[in-house]
């Protein structure tokens, strides 16, 4: 068989499907400390605090508690604070990055750094004024 995505794993299609099915669970939740083992980002540029609905190699939902105290709100519509769209996209990219590293079983320090170069079918599930944002 050829190399798997990321170059460190070898598996056939049947092995990959079985592994995904073993780890597929809607009840799995990763907290911020677990996310920090998957991503190189740190405050103030770590934009996800919780991952839920994890389906390895397929999808996850990331959450960020949004507070009026965050510096970007001072200049981004102060009378109607909205998280800037580029930061929402960054949070989505971090959610995807954490999913990829989790799915491949490569937490730090052995992980590779991945860069998102494009987005498709991105959706903001819920985002409000100084509340919680969910990214899928």
Catalytic residue numbers read: 76
CA nearest 32: which of 14, 20, 46? 46
Contact 4, 10 (CB under 8 A): yes
Contact 64, 47 (CB under 8 A): yes
Quick one: tokens of 122? 């991105």
CB environment 23-48: b (16+ within 10 A), e (fewer): eeeeeeebeeeebbebbebeeeebbb
């Amino acid at each position: 068989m050829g190399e798997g995505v990321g170059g460190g794993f070898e598996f056939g299609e049947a092995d990959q499907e079985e592994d995904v099915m073993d780890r597929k669970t809607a009840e799995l939740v990763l907290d911020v400390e677990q996310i920090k083992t998957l991503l190189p980002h740190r405050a103030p540029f770590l934009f996800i605090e919780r991952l839920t609905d994890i389906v390895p190699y397929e999808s996850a939902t990331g959450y960020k508690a949004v507070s009026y105290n965050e510096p970007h709100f001072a200049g981004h519509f102060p009378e109607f604070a909205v998280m800037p769209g580029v930061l929402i996209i960054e949070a989505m990219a971090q959610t995807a990055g954490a999913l990829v590293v989790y799915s491949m079983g490569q937490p730090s320090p052995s992980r590779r750094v991945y860069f998102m170069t494009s987005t498709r079918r991105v959706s903001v599930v819920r985002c409000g004024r100084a509340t919680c944002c969910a990214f899928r």
